[in-house]
Structure 1
Amino acid sequence: MHVKTSISWAFLALMAALSVQAVQAAAPENLPKDKSLGEIEQVFAFHDAMPTGVSVSEKGRVFVNFPRWGDNVPFTVGEIRENRVFPYPNLEVNQADPKHPGKGFISVQSIVADGLGKLWILDTASPSFSTPIAGGAKLVAVDLKTNKVVDTLVFPDNVILPSTYVNDMRFDFGAGEKGVIYITDSSLNGPGAIIVMDIATGKAVRRLNGATSTSADRDFIPKVEGQMLMFRNADGSSKPFTVASDGIALSADRQTLYFCPLSSRHLYSVPTKLLRDPTVSEDQLAAAVQDLGEKGASDGLEADAEGAIYAGDYEDNSIRKRLPDGTWQTVVHDPRILWPDTLSVGPDGYLYFIANQVHRQAGFHRGRDLREKPYSLLRVKINAKPAQTR
């Protein structure tokens, strides 16, 4: 009798221990999980249209833009102040002028404060990625002291193809008479390129047109939030996510241009003097491009004054930093960084960036818009200054 009782108590104790283990195993909060790295701060929350670009001026003013991709966009360029977004430089210039496409903003994809008192605005003239409106793709400079438009450079016909989508830009005011602008063409269905525009003359050329370095990697299949990212239509059809040259950054000494296709994990570089030299053939230029290896899948790129390059990683909710010796460090990794888009180094030692959930748009999910508001303007401390443009 005593032996049976001991066995019974031992059996009950074993079952109780197993039950505790089963409960613990079933509790998800007790499982190991992905750890965040670095500290992000939310600068602004957007509850209306989705932003893509941000730029912080040398005086600390913060500008953003909203391309006309289908959201209700009352103005496509704005300034954040007083905890609101105001149309910039005013509401009138933010309206397209069908009779004069070179004047009003049609659909702005990128803005860059040049560090010398101007905000440059890149108008794709391609709402919802349509064929660019003739004479509408342009660069507009606004004087930050007067908040007035002081220059407009309409892209010449030789660089704007039916498939062109001008995406981002960087400036070198030490080259040429008034400076040179480098712009990426991130076409979805045509050749990618680096467009080189001379500010003094307005003349522009396409360089690395259709080259491997400016083209979507056909073997690249992005995975975001655990799913393969493809263009998926409501009718059930789908096609690969193939977007050409997108991110762009100019080295602190302005001797090297860094760039990457959106549909790729590779970072490329090329000497800027070769890009500007008309005697250098396309074959020679392509041969001079360096493939700097994988950095993650990036939308935006940026440079600082110390020679580092920053790259977002939309597959890994991260931003990384390439040191001058070529090694990489993760600056920040956080599940709330849902598609890091444009990057901008502010004068306060912070890296500002947009997290806008591009991958959750309806075009990737058979017509279902999975974006959750708000979209965010975030920042992370990097203790570095912006690269100079002159």
Structure 2
Amino acid sequence: MDQRRRNIILGGAAVGLSYLFSRGLFAANTEKYLPLKAAIYSPWLANQVALTSNNTLFLGLPRYSPDKATPSLARREQDGSLVPFPNNSWNEWAPEKDGRNAFVYLNSVHIFADDTVWCVDQGSLSPGLFPAQYATPQPGAQKLVQLDADSGKILNILRFNDDILPPGAKMNDLRFHGSSLYISDSGLGGIIVHDFQTGKTIRRLSGRSVVKSSPTKIPAILAHIKGKKAFTPPNSDLIEITADGKWLYWASPTGPLYRVETKLLKDTSLSDEQLASRVQHVYDNNFAGGCCMDSLGNMYFSETVTGHITLLAPSGKTAVIASSPALIRPDGTFISQDRKLYIPVKKPLASGPKDKPFVIYAVALPDQFDGIALGGPVTGQA
């Protein structure tokens, strides 16, 4: 989830809960939904979760509070404890320090077929919570970082020039297929494609309508909180790719969900205007903080306002697979190798451990739900 959206949502927690319960937006009957199980409690707010094939769990921790120190990435140890990962200067950045070789603001954490950990560092802080001078990334601070999941060794750092990341661009999330890396830009709106075989990077659909948000679809409870009168939702934010690598999907939190064939996205003989005409409108999603896709092409949306995890099948059929008052502002979900859907929740639990008030839930996925066949994780393996 982009930090601009996170600011407005966190500030409106009390207002949001009152609104939800008064409108009956949380489903009362939980028997028809898959049960939630607390997978881990965290002392830090987590917006992303990812697991290796042997279930080593990592949390992405946004640098959100100006008065509370937080690491950016944490790993669950064998004894169940959470520790900063790697436990060195990468997690010790502070304003005024150099952000080139440290985590400034992690917006996404993901794990693919090779079990390494990929992080998207936007390189700048929220102007709503920190002084405005920290809202623009230092040169080289916005980056992608790949780490060894066991040792914490930095395996790769990708930085892009102004042709790929012009001023105002914000890398949001990433997905792989084979040697191709796909990145969403939630700042200006756009899709970035990097080819590891050739080393070439292209920027596509920059600023086009299909990568822009829909300000008219901002939920009422998010539009005017604590005097903020101009909440602008991020642009292309959510991103997923089918297991066969054929289709890339993306959406702003406001929707709609779009897709395009990856062969067209990588065809530089097509102008952005021609490419935009080949983009398909898929679905008008509710305001969503995050999503994930399974190996059968089902999309799982983390709905900010409703407390639902909504499933969208390739056929177009939808179903709410999980819904609970506990799912307050769910964010970036992840499907593990043992087919559990992990859901980080950004509201501290009043009834949880005082030293670990944040929770990440897990939902065991059955073979099918409401007549929709469910798959496993998409690992990016060709």
Cα 1:301–1:77 shift into 2, 3 Å: same
CA offset at residue 243 of structure 1?
1.7
Deviation digits for residues 157-215 of structure 1 (CA, Å, limit 9, x no counterpart): 22223322221111112xxxxx121111122xxx2111222334554332121122211
Paired with 2:109 and 2:320, the residues of 1 have a C-alpha distance of: 26
- Sort the Cα spacing of 1:136 and 1:199 in 2 relative to 1 into closer, same or farther, 3 A: farther
Shift of 1:145: 4.3
For 2:231, give the aligned amino acid: P
2:122 counterpart (121, 124, 129): 124
- Higher normalized strand content (fraction of residues): 1
Q: Secondary structure at the match of 2:192?
A: strand
Please name the residue that 1:382 is paired with.
Answer: 365
Picking from 213, 218, 227, the partner of 1:216 is 213
Residue 60 (structure 1) aligns with: 55
Identity within the alignment, %: 27
Q: Unaligned stretches of 5+ in structure 2?
A: 1-21, 128-134, 349-355, 367-374
Identify the residue that residue 89 of structure 2 maps to in structure 1.
92
Conservation of the 8 A alpha-carbon contact between 1:156 and 1:204: no
Secondary structure of the corresponding residue to residue 353 of structure 1: strand
- Contact between 1:232 and 1:239, CA under 8 Å: does it hold in 2? no
| 1:83 CA displacement | 2.7
2:266 is matched with 276
> Residue type of the partner of 1:305?
S
| 2:279 is equivalent to residue 289 of structure 1 | yes
Give the TM-score normalised by structure 1. Answer: 0.78
> C-alpha separation between the residues in 1 aligned to 2:224 and 2:140?
29
Deviations 1:296-342 (A, max 9, x none): 22121211122222111112111122223221121111111001100
Q: Highest CA radius of gyration, 1 or 2?
A: 1
Contact 1:247 1:260 in 2 (8 A): yes
Partner of residue 38, structure 2: 42
Report the equivalent of 1:3: none
SS in 2 for 1:219: helix
Give the TM-score, by structure 2 length.
0.80
- Whether 1:180 and 2:180 are equivalent positions in the alignment is yes
Tell me: CA distance 1:201–1:45, structure 2 relative to 1, closer, same or farther (3 Å).
Answer: same
On the 8 A contact 1:319/1:333 being kept in 2, the answer is: yes
The answer (yes or no) to whether the contact 1:213–1:261 under 8 Å persists in 2 is no
Higher RCO structure, 1 or 2 (CA under 8 Å, sep 6+):
2
Q: 1:64 Cα deviation (Å)?
A: 0.6
Provide the secondary structure at the position in 1 that maps to 2:70. Answer: coil
Q: Is the 8 A contact 2:27 2:324 kept in 1?
A: no
Matched AA of 1:242: P
Contact 2:59 2:109 in 1 (8 A): yes
Distance 2:199 2:140 in 1: 13
Q: Which residue of 1 aligns with 2:223?
A: 230
Q: 1:288 to 1:73 in 2, by over 3 A?
A: farther
CA-to-partner distance for each residue in 1:257-296, whole Å, 9 max, x for gaps?
A: 111102x142111111111221121111111111112232
3-state SS, counterpart of residue 161 of structure 2: coil
2:136 aligned with 1:141: no
1:69 and 2:60 matched: no
Once the two structures are superposed, the pairs formed by residues 155-170 of structure 1 within 5 Å of their partners are 155-170=160-175
User: Equivalent of 2:317, from 327, 331, 335?
Assistant: 327
Q: Which residues in structure 2 correspond to 1:245-256 (within 5 Å)? A: 245-256=236-247
Distance 1:139-1:90 versus aligned 2 partners, 3 A rule:
same
1:104 to 97, 102, 105: 102
CA contact (8 A) 2:213 2:255 kept: no
Structure 1 residues 278 and 102: CA distance shift in structure 2, 3 A = farther
